[in-house]
């Protein structure tokens, strides 16, 4: 089918939906979304096609609908909140309806799938018709709700329809007997129906939690009939996503689920949420129960639709197990000073480490930090400040040496903790990064021996990090380690392209030797052809500088699972080479612009100049 026909068909589908959302009439084609005939009128904001307030209602197939209408109607019905997808199943044969499992996977396309014409060369007397589906696939979501982006690629599947006797046996109706697995949604429909939430698990062997982003339904889940709070709790109890699982622990005993029949959870007027569990949790108490409550509180904190100040866990007989409040859970955060002020730093034109005072609507003059790095005794090329803001690590101006020094007291420069042998400055050490354990990370970009290093405590004997996936011709250009120390964001160069990868950090002790590995790197921005810079911007969010193929440079937020939204792009800024984001949204984003030097973007303002020249803006980490 040609491009013009495909565009015409897509136009018809869009027109149908606009009619439904604006003014549903009685002349709607089969398969179009529709609106209820009672209830209040709600305003719909047209520009945001992913608006979660827009509701789509499925329409059952009309009598004697032709095969095209059956396919189109089913594709539309998949985008609805219909309980159990009951209306969507009416487009399927009885056997296909029983076998179809919409909860097991979602295929996300850039737009709603194109339904092409059936093969014109097919035998007209054939008992069925096969309709190709096409589009651009950008992601999948698995049964554990994990979003997995892919580089945009052609999607080709098909739906097959046959005629079957009607229920009354007085004729035949077309129904779908073969279809792709799961749901197939355009990105706008996916974002309208699903939202990202963070589940939380403990970093293996540690006392702080790690965010594990997943997608749940915006409203009641059609299959489980659970509201968003209950869906989120259920997802937490199911355990971590497959990618994160090797690096985290759940305190919930294996097999723990919500008590049978629970489909709605809501806090009481004291903002206490009571969570009844099955018999796997019976008898759990003390510290184990407390840590279970920690996971729940952190997970529920990201749900803006509900205010939970404390959780109370109940056993299968609804007897009290334990109770925990938000204040008590705070000590388990990977970053524990989020209520305090976050200070950004940068390297000035003389190689000195400077601190920015972020208070106020107008930028304040930078402050030189104490110690040799602030005095310029060791001129810096890049810098990282530890999360306690007591030490800084920096590469020398030439990139050859990595040094660590106090930034709270005066002292003499310490000897380098690591040295690169690369000939060219651009092939030497990357900017360093501190994790939440106080360990220091840096990449040596030497083409002769590219290597990722971890320096225990910032001053210990450097450890070679195992990166079995780093093949010949590839190197880590830059890196930032998460506060929890479990994930590392890396700009990896292969040939002419630099892509953003998220690796899982695993530590093992063998014969008193600690083996550190970065494993299973996942693409975090497959739609970006080139990535220039990256910064952590919270437990599971990144601020990324890059551009799509043929596009202009963007500064935008991405989830660590690679998902994004249409509202995540920051105001335009030319020639950004480096960026730093705070852990919370209370402090400004700081960047280096080729035209303006060091600039900042405070909440509710535009970009403001801070220093005419400078480099390497960072927040602690």
**Over the stretch 189-234, which tens digit does the pLDDT of each residue have?**
999 999 999 999 999 999 999 999 999 999 999 999 999 999 999 9
- Asked if pLDDT for residue 167 goes beyond 70, the answer is yes
Structure tokens at 308: 């939970």
**Over the stretch 15-44, which tens digit does the pLDDT of each residue have?**
334 334 333 333 333 344 443 443 433 333
Ranking 162-176, 427-441, 544-558, 605-619 by mean pLDDT, the lowest is 162-176
- Reading across the β-sheet that carries 310-314, which strands appear in turn? 272-276, 310-314, 320-325
pLDDT band at residue 124 using 50, 70 and 90 as cut-offs: low
- Asked if pLDDT for residue 498 goes beyond 50, the answer is yes
DSSP 8-class letter at 92: B
Q: How far apart are CA 564 and CA 200, in angstroms?
A: 20
Q: What is the percent of the chain with per-residue pLDDT over 90, rounded to a whole number?
A: 72
- Asked if pLDDT for residue 544 goes beyond 50, the answer is yes
Q: What is the percent of the chain with per-residue pLDDT over 70, rounded to a whole number?
A: 88
User: Tell me, what's the pLDDT at 365?
Assistant: 85
For the chain, give every domain's residue range: 3-179, 194-332, 345-618
H runs (alpha helix) in 336-407: 372-375
Average pLDDT over residues 371-379: 92
Q: Which is nearest to 554 in space by CA: 538, 584, 575, 582?
A: 575
Spell out the residues 6+ positions from residue 5 whose beta carbon is closer than 8 angstroms to its own.
Answer: 117
**Over the stretch 532-541, which tens digit does the pLDDT of each residue have?**
999 999 999 9
Structure tokens at 419: 């040295």
Work out the end-to-end distance of the chain between its first and last CA atoms, rounded to an integer number of angstroms. Answer: 53
User: Tell me, what's the pLDDT at 176?
Assistant: 97
Q: How far apart are CA 145 and CA 232, in angstroms?
A: 10
| Secondary structure (3-state) at 279 | helix
Enumerate helices (H) and strands (E) in the chain, giving the number of each: 9, 35
User: Tell me, what's the pLDDT at 519?
Assistant: 97
Place of tokens 């491009």: 3
Q: How far apart are CA 84 and CA 75, in angstroms?
A: 15
User: Tell me, what's the pLDDT at 12?
Assistant: 37
Q: What angle do CA 66, 72, 78 make, to 5 degrees?
A: 135
User: Tell me, what's the pLDDT at 170?
Assistant: 75
- Asked if pLDDT for residue 463 goes beyond 70, the answer is yes
pLDDT band at residue 578 using 50, 70 and 90 as cut-offs: very high
Greatest extent of the chain over all pairs of C-alpha atoms, in Å: 95
pLDDT band at residue 340 using 50, 70 and 90 as cut-offs: low
User: Tell me, what's the pLDDT at 566?
Assistant: 57
Architecture of domain 345-618: 6 Propeller (2.120)
Pairing, β 183-186 against β 106-109: parallel
H runs (alpha helix) in 353-486: 372-375
How far lies 332's CA from each of 244, 290, 328, in Å? 18, 11, 8
On average, the pLDDT of the chain sits at 87
Q: How far apart are CA 241 and CA 146, in angstroms?
A: 6
**Over the stretch 387-429, which tens digit does the pLDDT of each residue have?**
999 999 999 999 999 999 999 999 887 899 999 999 999 999 9
Average pLDDT over residues 284-292: 94
Ranking 40-44, 53-57, 87-91, 170-174 by mean pLDDT, the lowest is 40-44
> Hey, which residues does 418 pair with through a beta bridge?
402
**Over the stretch 96-119, which tens digit does the pLDDT of each residue have?**
999 999 999 999 999 999 998 876
The dihedrals phi and psi of 461, each to the nearest 5 degrees, come to: -70, 120
């Amino acid at each position: 089918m040609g491009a013009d026909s495909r565009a015409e068909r897509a136009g018809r589908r869009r027109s149908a939906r606009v009619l439904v959302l604006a003014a549903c009439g009685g002349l709607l084609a089969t398969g179009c979304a529709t609106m209820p005939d009672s209830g209040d009128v709600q305003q719909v904001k047209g520009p945001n096609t992913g608006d979660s307030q827009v509701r789509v209602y499925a329409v059952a197939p009309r009598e004697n609908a032709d095969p095209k209408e059956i396919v189109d109607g089913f594709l539309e019905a998949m985008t609805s909140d219909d309980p159990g997808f009951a209306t969507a199943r009416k487009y399927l044969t009885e056997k296909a309806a029983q076998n179809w499992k919409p909860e097991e996977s979602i295929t996300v396309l850039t737009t709603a799938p194109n339904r092409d014409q059936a093969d014109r060369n097919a035998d007209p007397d054939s008992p069925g018709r096969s309709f190709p589906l096409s589009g651009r696939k950008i992601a999948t979501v698995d049964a554990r709700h994990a979003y997995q982006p892919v580089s945009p690629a052609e999607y080709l599947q098909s739906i097959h329809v046959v005629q079957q006797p009607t229920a009354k046996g007085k004729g035949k109706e077309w129904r779908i007997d073969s279809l792709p697995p799961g749901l197939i949604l355009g990105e706008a429909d996916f974002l309208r129906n699903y939202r990202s939430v963070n589940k939380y698990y403990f970093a293996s062997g540690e006392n702080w939690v790690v965010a594990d982003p997943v997608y749940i339904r915006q409203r009641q889940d059609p299959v489980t009939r659970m509201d968003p709070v209950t869906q989120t709790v259920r997802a937490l109890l199911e355990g971590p996503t497959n990618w994160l699982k090797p690096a985290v622990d759940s305190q919930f005993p294996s097999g723990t689920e919500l008590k049978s029949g629970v489909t709605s959870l809501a806090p009481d007027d004291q903002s206490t949420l009571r969570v009844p569990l099955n018999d796997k949790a019976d008898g759990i108490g003390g510290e184990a129960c407390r840590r279970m409550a920690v996971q729940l509180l952190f997970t529920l904190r990201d749900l803006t639709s509900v205010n939970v100040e404390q959780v109370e866990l109940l056993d299968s007989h609804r007897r009290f197990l334990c109770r925990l409040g938000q204040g008590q859970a705070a000590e388990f955060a990977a970053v524990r000073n989020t209520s305090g002020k976050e200070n950004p730093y940068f390297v000035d034109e003389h190689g000195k480490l400077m601190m920015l005072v972020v208070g106020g609507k107008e930028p304040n003059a930078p402050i030189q930090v104490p110690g040799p790095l602030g005095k310029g005794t060791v001129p810096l090329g890049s810098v990282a400040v530890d999360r306690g803001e007591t030490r800084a690590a920096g590469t020398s101006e030439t990139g050859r040496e990595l040094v660590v020094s106090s930034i709270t007291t005066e002292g003499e420069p310490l000897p380098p903790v690591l040295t690169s042998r690369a000939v060219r400055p651009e092939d030497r050490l990357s900017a360093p990064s501190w994790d939440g354990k106080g360990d220091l990370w840096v990449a040596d970009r030497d083409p002769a021996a590219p290597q990722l290093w971890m320096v225990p405590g910032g001053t210990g004997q450097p450890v070679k990090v195992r990166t079995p996936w780093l093949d010949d011709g590839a190197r880590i250009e830059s890196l930032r380690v998460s506060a929890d120390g479990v994930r590392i964001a890396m700009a990896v160069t292969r040939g002419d392209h630099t892509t953003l990868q998220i690796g899982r950090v695993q530590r093992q002790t063998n014969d008193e030797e600690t083996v550190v590995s970065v494993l299973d790197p996942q693409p975090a921005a497959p739609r970006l052809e080139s990535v220039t810079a990256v910064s952590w911007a919270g437990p599971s969010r990144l601020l990324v500088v890059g551009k799509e193929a043929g596009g202009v440079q963007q500064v935008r937020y991405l989830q660590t699972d690679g998902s994004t939204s249409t509202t995540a792009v920051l105001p335009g800024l030319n020639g950004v080479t480096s960026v730093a984001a705070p852990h919370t949204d209370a402090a400004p984003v700081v960047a280096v612009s080729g035209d303006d030097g060091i600039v900042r973007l405070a909440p509710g303002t535009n970009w403001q100049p801070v220093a005419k020249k400078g480099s390497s803006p960072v927040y602690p980490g």
